[in-house]
Amino acid sequence: MTMPVRTLEFADAREAADLGAFLARLIHYDRAAAVRLQAGGGAAGGGALAVFGRPASFEVLAIRTARLGAPYAPRAEAPLDVTVSAGELLDAIDAGSAEDTARTAVVPAAVTGPPWAGVLPPRGGWRQVAGLPGAESVRRALAVAVAEFRARDEQLAPGDRTRSARDRIGREIWSRTLGDTHLPLRAVHAAQSLGFLRPVRALVPAGAAPEEPWALLESGGWLRLRTPFGSIAVRRSGLGGLTVTPT
């Protein structure tokens, strides 16, 4: 049976390009990365696409949304909920740009979803948690952690610099929590690596640093770092298979 062609229509070319940049970062860490897509049926609101991915080496889920030009499934089709290859979705977005249809992308064929794709954060019930440090403090904590990893890695004897030894060091460092929160540093490191911690270029007085509208939320056993560019969610019990060597 031939599946019907499903097409995403983004609100504008920038939405498609930003999603493409996110997919490219996921593929940087795992060329075989998969993403779960949801749209319509109230999953992300009919006018938005929610994209879930798991960047390799970080033990977190990354969530990116893209505004759609029109609510998905305008002809009463089933809501979109499918796991696809991140690389094939990026190719579809690039193909749209090459054909001057930068606002559209064909949804790739479904793939067998990895285990994480069946365990997504809750859609609602999120409440803000106090204690998230300011932007400069967050960046300083990340810089200190990266410097510590590199220093301890360099101290290993050549014969001891194995993947398991480096992962042990990384696990210790990136499992530490940020400030007075329960958010592990690996979640913030993933947010930075995926471009979620970029400064927001808002209108601010000359010489003043722009405010960073980041928030820490919790729902059930999940914590979520929300930024204007995407979110990082982590279960307090972990997702399994942690490897944390920074790149």
Q: Does some domain include residue 53?
A: yes
Instruction: Please state the length of the chain.
Output: 247
Last residue of a domain, one of 92, 118, 144: 118
Decide if pLDDT at 45 tops 90: no
94 and 11 in a common domain: yes
To the nearest 10°, report the CA torsion of 128, 130, 134, 139.
Answer: -80
Please write down the HEC assignment for all residues of 173-212.
Answer: HHCCECCCCCCEHHHHHHHHHCCCCCCCCCCCCCCCCCCC
99 and 152 in a common domain: no
Q: Does some domain include residue 28?
A: yes
pLDDT digits (tens, 9 = 90+) for 86-101: 999 999 998 877 665 6
Q: Does some domain include residue 228?
A: no
133 and 90 in a common domain: no
**CB of 52 within 8 A of CB of 35?**
yes
Q: Does some domain include residue 233?
A: no
Supply 97's token pair.
């740009």
Q: How much is the pLDDT for 5?
A: 79
169 and 85 in a common domain: no
Q: Which of these ranges, 6-10, 27-31, 59-63, has the smallest mean pLDDT?
A: 6-10
> Confidence band (pLDDT; 50, 70, 90) for 19?
very high
**Whole-number average pLDDT of the chain:** 85
14 and 107 in a common domain: yes
94 and 132 in a common domain: no
Last residue of a domain, one of 118, 150, 172: 118
Q: Does some domain include residue 84?
A: yes
Last residue of a domain, one of 87, 118, 149: 118
Q: How much is the pLDDT for 247?
A: 34
Q: How much is the pLDDT for 122?
A: 92
91 and 17 in a common domain: yes
- Tokens 């400069």 sit at which residue? 136
166 and 97 in a common domain: no
- Structural domain total, the chain: 2
131 and 111 in a common domain: no
11 and 100 in a common domain: yes
Q: Does some domain include residue 110?
A: yes
CATH number at residue 47: 3.10.150
Q: How much is the pLDDT for 243?
A: 36
Q: How much is the pLDDT for 61?
A: 97
| CA 196/CA 216 separation, integer angstroms | 14
pTM over 0.75: yes
> Confidence band (pLDDT; 50, 70, 90) for 46?
low
Q: Does some domain include residue 113?
A: yes
Decide if pLDDT at 242 tops 80: no
Q: In angstroms, what is the C-alpha Rg of the chain?
A: 19
75 and 38 in a common domain: yes
142 and 112 in a common domain: no
Q: Does some domain include residue 238?
A: no
- The domain in which residue 63 lies consists of 7-118
